[in-house]
Chain A
Amino acid sequence: MRWFAAFLGACVVGLPLLLTPAAPVAVPAAVAGALIAAGVLTLHIPLITAGSCLALIEYGLALVLARRALEPLSAIAIGEALLLLIQVVQFGGRVRGVDVSSAVVAAQIRYWLRVAMVTMALGLGVSALAMRVVLPAVAAPMLGAAGAIAVLAAAIRLARRTSVAEEQS
């Protein structure tokens, strides 16, 4: 489990470096790599979260310095790797010192594969749409704000659903 998480961590940190091998990208990459490595070793989610946030900064810097057109594939790959990394580390922490049957591991891997396929298809679809539709520069912050509102709404809905389930029980 740790080896797989380490591989995913290397993907998250290494992909932006492959895009733009420059010193401004290498510095956050080194810090992010160290945090993710520590998180993988200790199976500690907050360390992985911090490392992931730094990896996103690193990716942003790499994109800005590269000055290329839209690159949906690397973005989707990094997003998938981030999600899988954090989930694998959490699963590793859950099963540490626990009797786990092979059916559990198989079910979990199947679930991750399903989610990865859905997100990949959705990401490719969205990026294809984005390439065709050219939005004015003013729309960028609005899109960002809409995304933030959507995240907030999802979080509130998730929390409400959980509290309703608790009340019902």
Chain B
Amino acid sequence: MTARLTPLTGSLLVILGWAVVLGVAFGRAELLLAGLPVLVQLAIAARPRARPSYDASHELSADRVFEGDRVDVTVTLTGRSSPMLLEVLQPLPPDVEVTAGSTRALFRLAEQPIRWRYELRCVRRRRFSLGVVHLRIWDLSGLRLLETRRGTPQPVRVYPRVTPLRGLPIPLRTQTHIGDYVARSTGEGLEPGDIRPFMPGDEVRHVNWRASLRRRTLYVTRYQQERNADIVLMLDTLSEVGASPTTSLDAGVRAAASLASAFLSRKDRVGLIRYGGALQWIKPDTGRVQLERLLDALLEAEVIFTYVSKDLTLVPPRVLSPSSLVIALSPLCDERFIKATSDLAARGFDVIVLAISPVGLTRDAERRSGVTDAACRLWALERRIRRHELGWHGLRVIDWDPEEPLELALTRISRRRRRAAIPA
């Protein structure tokens, strides 16, 4: 706890001293009398006071929210002391807005606990702490104050916004685990595949009675297997364009979160590679725990500047298996990322590049002018040519403007790919 005098004390002392000096200089006692109230105030403030006792506790309506969600914060202040004013301040991180109430308040300490409420809106993914409030206990004279901090830090995680997706790209290769994709190979499943003559070992329940009666010999129905796939989301954290909270990286993180959620709900195994200054990965897996793991990794995604280009051969095969579908999310502004994805395609990986268009984001961040518009149009043309070049190298590039729904961009994947039969 820090106790200190406020600047008001200095001001009062200056006025008092000046009154005394003028009183002597002019030889008028009235000036000394004019300084008397100030002197009395200083004397009252100099009286010893009992130390105030108080406490602050925080309650949050949720400690894990998605971007755009609101959090209700209730602070309970309890204290018993001589009449003093309690100023409370809750510092907030950037990208967290106050939608109701205020994070700064002034109360009078009383016997009854004071409940102070405010509402926050979390604009952008981040991890931050609430709960430690800065307290200032003011003397009613305004001449002295005590400063301290109270409370226990309570972590709040703001996850990237997840948009429900229906039309997802279909992987060309599947895994051996049960999933939602109808595979070409036959075996256990629900979708009927073909019919063949009965062989010893076939189960009776698989006998196709209609075909058997027509052909006068036993036939069995074979079913197509239902498999899942490995999806690896590769997020470009080498470059970022635009202004927070709508940068290309933010858009990429939101897209990755939406894709991860949609693929996991299809029983696929989803992994993540953050390709940037620090190469980090999460092994593909299924389930809600994996979604939480991915969202945790995504909320920490940020650009770490480096000149070093990372080699994807560092990523172990259990994370980046050759049969997985790699969805690369990038604004395609850094050649190192383009080279990495081109290498993957050349090595036979099934790669889709979701090119997050930085043109619109830059136009929004810059001041509107003819030069900006012309530069953005030229940039868009250059990017179109670059996409075609990448297409010749075997990369499937889908352009996505973050202002349009992701679902719309995903529908641009060719029908041929979506209707392709999946080899086992």
Inter-chain contacts of A78 with B (CB < 8 A):
34
Known: A75-B30, A94-B142. A56 touches B15 (CB 8 A): yes
Among B45, B83, B106, point to the contact of A95 (Cβ < 8 A): B106
Inter-chain contacts of A36 with B (CB < 8 A):
none
Report the nearest A residue to B7, measured CB to CB: A45
Known: A82-B34, A99-B101, A155-B13. A162 touches B3 (CB 8 A): yes
Interface members, chain B 85-110 (any A CB < 8 Å): 85, 87, 101-102, 104-108, 110
Number of A interface residues, CB 8 Å? 71
Q: Is the interface of A mostly helix, strand, loop or mixed?
A: helix
Inter-chain contacts of A90 with B (CB < 8 A):
6, 8, 142
Inter-chain contacts of A91 with B (CB < 8 A):
142
Q: List 17 A-B contacts (CB under 8 A).
A: A61-B26, A63-B30, A78-B34, A79-B37, A97-B102, A100-B105, A111-B83, A115-B44, A118-B44, A126-B33, A127-B29, A141-B24, A145-B24, A148-B20, A163-B3, A166-B1, A166-B2
- A70 contacts B29, CB within 8 Å? yes
- B102 contacts A162, CB within 8 Å? no
Among A46, A108, A150, point to the contact of B11 (Cβ < 8 A): A46
- A87 contacts B142, CB within 8 Å? yes
Inter-chain contacts of B51 with A (CB < 8 A):
165, 168
In angstroms, how far is the closest chain B Cβ from the Cβ of A32?
12
- B30 contacts A86, CB within 8 Å? no
- B15 contacts A169, CB within 8 Å? no
What are the interface flags for B99-138 relative to A under an 8 Å C-beta threshold, 1 for contact and 0 otherwise? 0011011111010000010000000000000000000001
A56 to B1, CA, bound (A): 38
Among A116, A123, A168, point to the contact of B33 (Cβ < 8 A): A123
Among B11, B24, B102, point to the contact of A45 (Cβ < 8 A): B11
Known: A144-B20, A157-B46. A53 touches B13 (CB 8 A): no
Known: A48-B11, A99-B102, A104-B107. A115 touches B24 (CB 8 A): no
Among B16, B20, B30, B36, point to the contact of A122 (Cβ < 8 A): B36
The chain B residues found within 8 Å of chain A, CB to CB, are 1-9, 11-46, 48, 51, 83, 85, 87, 101-102, 104-108, 110, 116, 138, 140-144, 146, 148
Inter-chain contacts of A145 with B (CB < 8 A):
24
Inter-chain contacts of B24 with A (CB < 8 A):
140-141, 144-145
- A83 contacts B30, CB within 8 Å? no
A46 to B140, CA, bound (A): 20
Inter-chain contacts of B48 with A (CB < 8 A):
161
A91 to B139, CA, bound (A): 11
A155 to B8, CA, bound (A): 12
Among B3, B4, B8, B40, point to the contact of A115 (Cβ < 8 A): B40
- B110 contacts A103, CB within 8 Å? yes
Q: Does A42 contact B (CB under 8 A)?
A: no
Among B3, B32, B44, point to the contact of A147 (Cβ < 8 A): B32
Inter-chain contacts of A75 with B (CB < 8 A):
29-31, 33-34
Inter-chain contacts of B107 with A (CB < 8 A):
101, 103-104
Among B34, B35, B44, B105, point to the contact of A99 (Cβ < 8 A): B105
Q: Does A22 contact B (CB under 8 A)?
A: no
Inter-chain contacts of B116 with A (CB < 8 A):
99
Among A82, A126, A130, point to the contact of B38 (Cβ < 8 A): A82
- A154 contacts B39, CB within 8 Å? yes
Report the nearest B residue to A142, measured CB to CB: B24
